[in-house]
Amino acid sequence: MDAEPTDGTEPVRSGGRPAEQLDRLLGRAENADQVEPVLAAEVRSALMHYCGLQSCRHTKGPPRRLNRRTFRHSFLLPDGEVRVLWELEHNAGPDDGAVHCAVFAEREELTLAEWEVDAAFGGAPGPQDLVPDTLAAPYGEALSAAAATGLLADTPDAFRRAYTEGDSAEHARRLLRRATNANAPGQDVRSRLRASIAHDISIVTRRSTLVAGRHVSWSLYEHAFLLLDGSELSLWEIDHTRTPSGDPVCEVYASQDAALDTAVRRIEAT
């Protein structure tokens, strides 16, 4: 779903120096004092900043129009590492539509905050918020706590992902075959995908920029597969033109974070 601003004034989330983007982010966030000073100082030294929409929910009501957007801010540090801050923006509080913003340095804290906000929408959160098998243990444990409260009840049909494509095992094979990166998903993932019975392809984001005076573009796609046992598995494809010839190439990753880190760290690096 396309992003919509939660009010008439859209915050500036791109352009300028990374330190300026950090200041804007912390200026918007109601919980900015919870960001560790050491982390803030580290991020302030970043060479590059990229912000992308990670997920969103919108409804016209009842009881009123509700919006929730989650943004992923990636900061490329001088040592080549990438630090990520997540921004949660919503108008689902009890104050009748006021826009709230919070910032998180830990993925599990973001997830629990999203569950709390999404409860105002009714039903269960959409497929973009379900937990991938590859997440680290603390993140999974945080969602286990949410499950104990009943927040992870069976997803209503209205929120289930629509798997519209067939011949999925062959599609997975072709996708992994054209991947040019050495760290593409390995044999264990390939074996699981042989049991895929349907799939869905969606574009997550795309971007064009100038790198060393040359136009470079990249797009991120999610290939979501439904397996025979009812489980889901996603591959993340980056198509980009950061090649000596400028010809497009395909890279495939097992997680969205790994794909976006590649885009920020290598494809857009000067």
Buried b (16+ CB within 10 A) or exposed e, 115-142: bebbebbeebbbbbbeeeeebeeebeeb
* Domain end among 155, 176, 197: 155
The strand pair at 249-253 and 214-227 is best described as unpaired
Both 139 and 196 in one domain: the answer is no
Contact status, residue 248 vs residue 240, Cβ threshold 8 Å: yes
Residue 74's contacts (CB-CB under 8 Å, 6 or more residues apart) are 49, 50, 51, 52, 82, 83, 84, 260, 261, 264
Structural tokens at position 36: 């560790």
Region 4-10: mean pLDDT is 53
* Domain end among 155, 178, 197: 155
Residue 196 sits in which domain range? 168-267
Both 208 and 121 in one domain: the answer is no
Confidence class for position 237, pLDDT limits 50, 70, 90 = very high
* Domain end among 117, 133, 155: 155
CA 134 to chain centre: 14
Q: Which residues pair with 83 in a beta bridge?
A: 75
Structural tokens at position 205: 């984001």
Both 183 and 227 in one domain: the answer is yes
Check residue 236 and give its pLDDT.
94
Both 132 and 225 in one domain: the answer is no
Examine residue 4 and state whether it is found in any structural domain, yes or no. Answer: no
pLDDT at 135 over 80: no
Contact status, residue 152 vs residue 146, Cβ threshold 8 Å: yes
Confidence class for position 19, pLDDT limits 50, 70, 90 = very high
Q: What is the largest CA-CA distance in the chain?
A: 55
Say which residue, 33 or 230, is predicted with more confidence. 33
CA dihedral 44, 47, 139, 129 (to 10 degrees): 110
pLDDT at 200 over 90: no
Mean of the per-residue pLDDT values for the chain?
77
Examine residue 10 and state whether it is found in any structural domain, yes or no. Answer: no
Check residue 122 and give its pLDDT.
67
pLDDT at 97 over 90: no
Confidence class for position 21, pLDDT limits 50, 70, 90 = very high
| pLDDT tens-digit map of 27-67 | 999 999 988 888 999 999 998 888 887 777 777 766 778 88
Buried b (16+ CB within 10 A) or exposed e, 14-33: eeeebeebbeebbebbeeee
Both 85 and 210 in one domain: the answer is no
Examine residue 13 and state whether it is found in any structural domain, yes or no. Answer: no
Examine residue 3 and state whether it is found in any structural domain, yes or no. Answer: no
Check residue 87 and give its pLDDT.
94
Structural tokens at position 68: 């929730």
Examine residue 1 and state whether it is found in any structural domain, yes or no. Answer: no
Region 191-209: mean pLDDT is 85
Region 112-117: mean pLDDT is 84
Q: How many domains does the chain have?
A: 2
Q: Which residues pair with 56 in a beta bridge?
A: 69
Global confidence as pTM: 0.47
Say which residue, 122 or 121, is predicted with more confidence. 121
Both 147 and 195 in one domain: the answer is no
Minimum mean pLDDT among 40-49, 76-85, 103-112, 135-144: which range? 135-144
